[in-house]
A = this chain, B = another copy of it.
Amino acid sequence: MFEQLGLIGCGLMGGSFALALKRAGLVKRVVGYSKSPSTTERARQMGVIDVEAPSALLAVSGADIVLLAVPVAATEATLKAIRHLVNNDMLIMDVGSTKRDVVDSARRVLRDHIGSFVPCHPITGKEVSGVEHADPDLYTGKTVILTPIERTQLAQLRRAAEVWEALQCHVVQMSPDAHDAAFAAVSHLPHLIAFALMNGITGQASGKEFLSLAGPGFRDFTRIAASDPKMWRDVLLANRQELLEQSGQFQRALQAMEAMITNNNGEALEESIASASRARAGWRMGFPKK
Contact = CB atoms under 8 A, between A and B. Distances in A.
Q: Which residue, of A198, A226, A252, A286, has the highest number of chain B Cβ atoms within 10 A?
A: A198
Given A224-B221, A226-B280, A266-B237, A215 B142 contact: yes
A60 B244 CA distance: 55
Interface in A131-186: 142-143, 145, 172, 178, 181-183, 185-186
Given A186-B213, A214-B283, 18 more contacts: A123-B213, A145-B213, A187-B215, A189-B197, A192-B254, A193-B197, A195-B273, A196-B254, A197-B276, A200-B249, A200-B254, A201-B249, A202-B275, A221-B221, A226-B281, A228-B277, A236-B261, A237-B266
A247 B258 contact: yes
Nearest to A191: B217
17 contacts: A143-B215, A182-B209, A183-B213, A186-B201, A186-B213, A190-B197, A191-B217, A193-B193, A193-B197, A200-B249, A202-B276, A202-B279, A219-B285, A221-B223, A225-B279, A233-B269, A237-B266
A226 B187 contact: no
A184 B215 CA distance: 13
8 closest Cβ pairs, A-B complex: A200-B253, A186-B214, A198-B276, A123-B215, A196-B254, A229-B274, A195-B276, A225-B280
Main DSSP-derived SS at the A contact region: helix
A226 B280 CA distance: 5
A230 B197 CA distance: 25
A251 B251 contact: yes
A23 interface: no
A198 B285 contact: no
Contact of A250 (B197, B218, B271, B280): B197
Nearest to A201: B185
B236 A200 contact: no
B200 A246 contact: yes
A270 interface: yes
